[in-house]
Amino acid sequence: MSLYRTFDSADLRIWLSTQITLSTQLGGKPEEWSIKEVSDGNLNSVFLVHGLDSSLCCKQALPHVRVAPDWPMPLERALYEARYMRATEAAVTGLAPKLFHYDADLFLLVMECLSPHTVLRSALIADQVTPGFSETIGQYVAQTVHTTGWTTRPFEEGSRLLADFAGNTALTRITVDLILNDPYRVCTRNPEPEPALLSAVEALRTDRPLHAAISRLQNIFLTCRQALLHGDLHTGSIMLHERDVRVIDGEFATMGPIGFDCGLYLGNLALHACAAPQKMPAMEHEMRVFWAAFAEQFQTLVSQGGGDVGGLLEDDAARLTMVQDMLLGILRDTAGFAGLEIIRRTIGFAQVADYSLCPDDAARTTARKRALEIGRTLIMSAEAIESPDALFALLCPSPATGAPSLT
């Protein structure tokens, strides 16, 4: 902490000029570099630096939530993001930005600059996406599972990852609170719901069967350590330019259930469809593309074995059965966590900009109610799901029938 200081553009320019490898990579003289702050997330300061030869992205952790300065936040979260990028780098080359440098005193990451990439959520809102982008995300999740999971790596590697990420408790606490608890109780972090949603919000707070189902998901999240998770895989943590799709912002990384990352991603696609119902077919297509890419790569990679789970299964049919059973479990977890994410992003802290697509207040209220109904149905039905088609039917219900009402 004695060496830590919060950077502005001038400080960053001076620091970069002392880093021989990075300054050489940028090219030109420090005074010739263009430095622009582009911070738009909840937690960090982000700068894009353009030199004569190349560009860099510099991300520094702040000692508080950027959008809530009275909410303290440990700087060490930057360490876990750097560890995550290094642990998955070989598996996801070309699917995530490359990490060039991490400064442990300044809690500063220097990585590949993604330009002219756009945040996926913004691109969806602006209708500037190339269909099929979700294939890359499905591959990304499967490949991180392959390189960090117990079926394809010796348990010693999984144990090392458990140790490396066990200390990321502050950000995991955010997940436990903001996704798994706060939307279902009175909490000062929750924005005040619009009057037309008050009865629906109160119904969620008093829904005992729902709370029991959420308790099961809480237990899965906290005790099921299948692989290293990104931990915050939503449409705001992905950037793309045409067909070049990259996953960013791995600071919530923790060992956990594979279905958590899958559920957060699919839940955000469902949220976008709730906000813009005319896009439901396109979002369902992306959901199917995601799951098909994930399941195909997962089956191919996990079937190779190499870990201590399934090590006795020499018969291909037996190994295939094991993989299919794993995929069904992941599918069910995906449904539950997607439901939690949909509800959280609708009435909890850090709501989504997708609802800005609604043409008026009445349409926005209708969209939010629909999202809450879909979210609850997913949570309550998760254990009974038997196929991807069953999941997509819950994520993208027919407008004529919809999901069961909350009230």
* pLDDT score of 406: 42
* pLDDT score of 399: 66
327 φψ region: left (φ > 0), alpha (ψ -120 to 50), beta (else)? alpha
* pLDDT score of 270: 98
Beta bridge partners of 108: 60, 103
Beta bridge partners of 286: none
Side-chain half-sphere exposure of 325, counting CA atoms within 13 A: 7
Ordered by where they begin, the domains of the chain are 9-112 (3.30.200.20), 118-395 (3.90.1200.10)
User: If the chain, 407 residues long, is cut into consecutive pieces of 10 residues, what is the mean pLDDT of each piece?
Assistant: 87 97 97 92 88 97 83 92 98 98 97 95 97 98 96 93 97 97 95 94 98 98 97 97 97 98 98 97 98 97 89 87 96 98 96 96 96 98 98 87 45
